[in-house]
Structure 1
Amino acid sequence: MQDDTAYGWYPANQLTVSPIVQRLDQLIPSVQGNPDFLLTLPEFPRIALESPSASGGKFWLGVVMESGVSIRWGRAGTAGTVKHFPLAQCKNNNPLLELKDRFMSKIGKGYNLNPHDTRIP
Structure 2
Amino acid sequence: MTLGPLYHWSPRDRLKSITRQGLMPGKRNISGATLHGGDIEGEFLQPGVCFSLDPVTAWAYSHGVWKSVGAFDLWQVWLEPADEVHVLPMWGNRIVEVRVHNRIPKRRLHHVGERTVA
State TM-score, norm by structure 2: 0.24
Higher helix residue share: 1
